Amino acid sequence: MKPISLFQKNMPIKAVTVFFISNRFQVIFFLLVFPQYIAHSYMIWFIIALGILSQGNLYILSKWISSSYSTKGYAGFIELFGEWKVRILTAVALLPILVKLSVLTINFVSTTRYYIFPSVNPSWLIFVFLLMSMYVAIRGMENTIRFSIIAFFTVIWIILLFLPFYFPPNAAWINLFPLTHSWSQQTWKGILFIWATLSGPEYLICLIPWLKQDQKIVKYMTWANIVTVLELLIVLIASLLFYGHHYLLLIKYPYIEMTRYLQNPIFERIDIVLIAFYLFHLVFMVSILLLILYGAMRIIFKKVSKETTRKGFLITCVITTALIIFLNQFLWTNERQYKTWMNIEVVMSGFTYLFIPSFLVICSKIKRRRR
Amino acid sequence: MRKGVRTSILAFTLICLLLTTSCGVRPENNLIEEIAPVIFWYVKKGENKNLKISTAVPPILKEKKQLFSLQVNLLKQGAKDFNLIYYREMKVGQLRMIFIDEQVAKKGIAKIVDSLLIDPDTSQRLFIVIVTGDFEGYLKKQMKDKENAEYYLYRMLKHYEDQNQGELTPINLHEYKKMLYTPYTDPYIPVFKADQQNFSYEGTAIFKKDTLVKTLTKMDDQVFQLVGTDNYLKYLAIPKLSVVLGRVHTAVDFNLNSSYSKLFIKVKMMGRLEDYQGENGMNDKNIEKMKSTIEAFMEERTKKLMKKMQHMHTDPFQIGTHTITPFGKTLTDKEWYKKWENMDIDVKYELQLGPLPRESK
């Protein structure tokens, strides 16, 4: 059998792809869950404020990306930390990656199950879903990164469907008021959630070696960030106008329920069509994460210098699938556990986004000074 | 060899995809010959605390129609029991209307509506209608005489929803729920009266939270449509003054004073004279006089209606929403209702009549 080369670099990918990857990584979380503590109109201000803050963080991230360590890829990390430390750090990083992977998969599968296949076994859906992602991932890192463009364009137009909700009789402007609120624990949760939604670009750290070196990367990340903030605002305001704050709290998937309310002479169930489109987005996310996971495994087991093998990748995938099915069956069975997992994911992705870029930049600064 | 593996993975993925879409893995069977997609439920009070729910099957197929009724404890239990007595499986994906008997509505309908809301198969555009009288009798008679009677009922509701015309205001599940769960607002639903021959519009049912407290009919209903909803009235009939106004549009302005003890309602009403059977001739002077009589009459009726609403502690006019400002604190639901019940109300109408088609003498 000819060996497969998952991580081969044939042709550097244009830097504009950063925009697609970064933006899709950011919005995904919000699309799947619309948490109840963000269903207030005063959250509009926080989305804007955190969007600006996130921009600062992206600037730090771009500092790392343009540094000499980053462009060297794995060798750069070895140079910076030493092999042992890299292995330990990678092992630690497995946790957020696995949690992200499981939360995304299980959330998407349970949404699909609720709307389309209510009587199908969830394990089966998880299996099929991961199989699709595996198929994309096995094409190699380069192709998967390029898939982000498809993922972006299959989903972005959906935002247009929310425009009818800005006009009467669907909308009532009074629903948007009052725009202020007293500070409470809910506010903190909302802020944390919005920050977690804006997280995601930190995964670019793993993808930099495949991208063409370009000074414009920071520009593309900025645009991605702006589009994300706009998307969040459009959806949040539309749902507030349509439902009003009090009723919105009772709706679990307003994002899908709202599109369902639109009338179409051809498809009655617009929600089903939309979920099928979101599948592209999800498959892209999960396939990238699977490849990153496989890369991490290779670092931990000291296989970096060897060829990538089909067997190794499949083992990684099988373990992941088994883990997710196990989680879904035993640790994701009721509403309380669901909330716990969501909180874990929110805290973890918020944490990684906030600290990893600064951590890397500080480490490289210290290293350079010691020299 | 490598190609072989790749092809087999692709083939396997495709097979799995196909399996999830139709056959295998316990999906739902939707063969059109074997199912009956019902388009309405009728919920009525049954014997000893039960509900009696009815529907007509098959809905569209050219087959003899039947009206099925069942005594059940729960709404969705009915969906199950229907399957057991009928050779087709009932599907609720096409459910378009739910008719609720007035007696049930007086006990509260939140639970019925909630159970519909949970089901992802049920569209949020499901119309809710309150009926009084013998609706079953009407349906049975109609089924004998013509095809698809229930479908035409649906078309009627849809017609008035699209035209936004105040003859009646159809309310769907989403709108009802929104009114129910938003503070300071109480829902309203159209009421129909059925007997063996007719299915006629009665008025608007006013709710206090989820229980029916009052049905507005005739003049009260017209006032409600003008002041409480965004609709326009095609005809505003005032028999007492022997006058009919046509195409009546209103612009309503609710003004609350800062302590919420006084409410000013200013209604600007635009329309044209459609019919006048009075004794006075139609010259300019008389028309001016008539205008002020109509204004005074409408003011009195509106004031009376508002008093009634205050008395029943309900606010279907959603006046409370006018207390909300972009910045600042809002009242709680309870605080508002307390203020609402003791509010002084002042109503002012301003009628604009379009030009008459002929020269007045």
**Helices and strands (H and E) in chain A: how many:** 15, 0
B326 touches chain A (CB under 8 A): yes
Mean pLDDT of the region A107-132: 88
pLDDT beyond 90 at A51: yes
Task: Give residue B24's pLDDT.
Answer: 45
Contacts of A175 in chain B (CB under 8 A): 182
A288 touches chain B (CB under 8 A): no
B2 with A1: Cβ contact below 8 A: yes
B1 with A168: Cβ contact below 8 A: no
Interval B101-111: pLDDT, tens: 988 888 888 88
What is the set of domains in chain B, with CATH numbers?
30-215 (no CATH), 232-361 (3.30.300.210)
Mean pLDDT of the region B197-222: 87
Nearest alpha-carbon partner for B77 in B59, B52, B96: B52
Closest-CA distance, B170 to chain A, in angstroms, reads: 13
A128 with B17: Cβ contact below 8 A: yes
Residue by residue, DSSP assigns B22-66 as SSSSS-----GGGEEE--EEEEEE-STT-EEEEEEESSSSSS--E
- Which pair of structure tokens corresponds to residue A265? 């002479």
CB nearest B178 (choices: A131, A135, A247): A247
Among A283-292, B131-140, B291-300, B326-335, the range scoring the smallest mean pLDDT is: B326-335
- Total residues found in chain B within this entry: 361
Task: Give residue A48's pLDDT.
Answer: 93
Interval B180-204: pLDDT, tens: 888 888 899 999 998 888 888 888 8
Mutate to test the interface with B, among A115, A135, A321 (most CBs of B within 10 A): A135
Q: State chain B's mean pLDDT as an integer.
A: 81
Using 50, 70 and 90 to split pLDDT, how confident is the model at A47?
Answer: very high
Task: Give residue B14's pLDDT.
Answer: 63
Q: How many CB pairs under 8 A join A and B?
A: 82
Q: Report how far residue A198's alpha carbon sits from residue A53's, in angstroms, rounded to the nearest whole number.
A: 10
Mean pLDDT of the region A282-291: 92
Interval B137-176: pLDDT, tens: 888 888 877 777 788 888 888 888 877 777 788 888 888 9
- Give the residue, A196 or B326, on which the prediction is more confident: A196
Using 50, 70 and 90 to split pLDDT, how confident is the model at A1?
Answer: low
* Contacts for B44 with CB less than 8 Å, ≥ 6 apart: B51, B52, B53, B54, B101, B103, B104, B135, B136
- Which pair of structure tokens corresponds to residue B73? 């404890």
Using 50, 70 and 90 to split pLDDT, how confident is the model at A292?
Answer: very high
Among A40-54, A182-196, B142-156, B185-199, the range scoring the smallest mean pLDDT is: B142-156
Q: Express as a percent the part of chain B with pLDDT over 90.
A: 3
Contacts of B20 in chain A (CB under 8 A): 117, 120, 124-125, 128
Using an 8 Å Cβ cutoff, are B177 and B117 in contact?
yes
Among B139-148, B286-295, B342-351, the range scoring the smallest mean pLDDT is: B139-148
Closest-CA distance, B74 to chain A, in angstroms, reads: 21
Looking at B125-222, which runs of residues are DSSP E strands? 127-133, 171-172, 188-194, 199-208, 211-217
- Total residues found in chain A within this entry: 371
Contacts of A276 in chain B (CB under 8 A): none
pLDDT beyond 80 at A33: no
Task: Give residue A227's pLDDT.
Answer: 93
Cα distances from B42 to residues B85, B101, B121, B177, in angstroms, run 17, 8, 18, 19
pLDDT beyond 80 at B350: yes
Angle subtended at Cα A281 by Cα A309 and Cα A190, rounded to the nearest 5 degrees: 115
Max distance between CA atoms of chain A, in angstroms, equals: 69
Task: Give residue B22's pLDDT.
Answer: 46
Mutate to test the interface with A, among B7, B160, B174 (most CBs of A within 10 A): B174
All structural domains of chain A with their residue ranges: 17-361
CA distance from start to end of chain B: 100
**Cross-strand pairs, B44:** B52
pLDDT beyond 70 at B20: no
Closest-CA distance, B255 to chain A, in angstroms, reads: 15
Task: Give residue B2's pLDDT.
Answer: 65
Interval A208-245: pLDDT, tens: 888 887 778 888 999 999 999 999 899 889 988 998 88
Contacts of A127 in chain B (CB under 8 A): 16
Query: Which phi and psi (to 5°) does residue B128 adopt?
Result: -110, 130
Using an 8 Å Cβ cutoff, are A82 and A263 in contact?
no
Using 50, 70 and 90 to split pLDDT, how confident is the model at B19?
Answer: low
Using 50, 70 and 90 to split pLDDT, how confident is the model at B23?
Answer: very low
Closest-CA distance, A195 to chain B, in angstroms, reads: 25
Using 50, 70 and 90 to split pLDDT, how confident is the model at A353?
Answer: very high
Task: Classify A17-361 by CATH class.
Answer: mainly alpha
Interval A162-177: pLDDT, tens: 888 888 777 878 888 7
Q: Report how far residue A341's alpha carbon sits from residue A100's, in angstroms, rounded to the nearest whole number.
A: 10
B124 touches chain A (CB under 8 A): yes
Residue B282: count of CB within 10 angstroms of its CB: 15
B230 touches chain A (CB under 8 A): yes
pLDDT beyond 60 at B359: no
Give the residue from chain B lying closest to A172, CA to CA. Answer: B321
A360: number of CA atoms within 13 Å, CB side?
Answer: 29
A369 touches chain B (CB under 8 A): no
Among A84-88, A173-177, B246-250, B299-303, the range scoring the smallest mean pLDDT is: A173-177
Nearest alpha-carbon partner for B238 in B276, B284, B192, B282: B276
Contacts of A117 in chain B (CB under 8 A): 20, 27
Please report the ipTM that was assigned to this predicted complex: 0.83
Mean pLDDT of the region A65-91: 86
